[in-house]
Structure 1
């Protein structure tokens, strides 16, 4: 089964409160590789050329925590969403 097929089985109850924060935007400007933009399986992070910053689309977060581990500067504050919100996995 392809990743896109598996992601189709995921359902989200999106909270209005963002559970992901970039701690210091200036560090992102200095980051050469911008690992968060390609390490996240849900593509939550995107480099916004016009605004010269990382855009975070937390609504599609799979809650794997890969981003906070992969960021070479430890610049991502990531918590689980509040109870009742976030990802729910559907089997079958």
Structure 2
């Protein structure tokens, strides 16, 4: 019987070639709509968005799956700018 592989194991085999100094996503720090921010925080499959106690949203680009879910959901409200990483940077999926 084949062993079931969980999401963390699947993500663990991916390779990341990230630009540690430049994020491909810019967060709109002027947006203070907590409902919109909460939606983006909850929808990120890699859990890279967070909110501090004052309500400011943060994004950690290292480990991003580049799925575009945050961009599609926020429609420019929380995610100010989204583009694929340049050149050979970003995620390289390894699980079939």
Assess same fold via TM > 0.5. yes
More strand by share: 1
Question: 3-state DSSP class of the match of 1:60?
Answer: coil
- 1:37 equivalent in structure 2: 41
How many pairs does the alignment contain?
89
Question: 3-state DSSP class of the match of 1:21?
Answer: strand
Higher mean alpha-carbon deviation, 33-42 vs 57-66, is at 33-42
Q: Give the CA RMSD over aligned residues.
A: 1.8
Structure 2 residue 71 is the aligned partner of structure 1 residue 59:
no
Under a length normalisation based on structure 1, what TM-score does the superposition of the two structures give? 0.83
Q: Quick one: structure 1 residues 73 and 2, their matched pair in 2 at CA, closer, same or farther if it must change by over 3 Å? A: same
Under a length normalisation based on structure 2, what TM-score does the superposition of the two structures give? 0.80
Distance 2:55 2:62 in 1: 21
Shift of 1:48: 1.4
- 1:22 equivalent in structure 2: 27
Distance 1:30 1:90 in 2: 37
Shift of 1:88: 0.8
Question: 3-state DSSP class of the match of 1:6?
Answer: helix
Q: Which runs of 5+ in 2 are unaligned?
A: none
The C-alpha deviation readout for 1:1-45, integer Å capped at 9, x for no partner, is: 21111111111111021100013x231x22325111110100110
Distance 2:10 2:95 in 1: 10
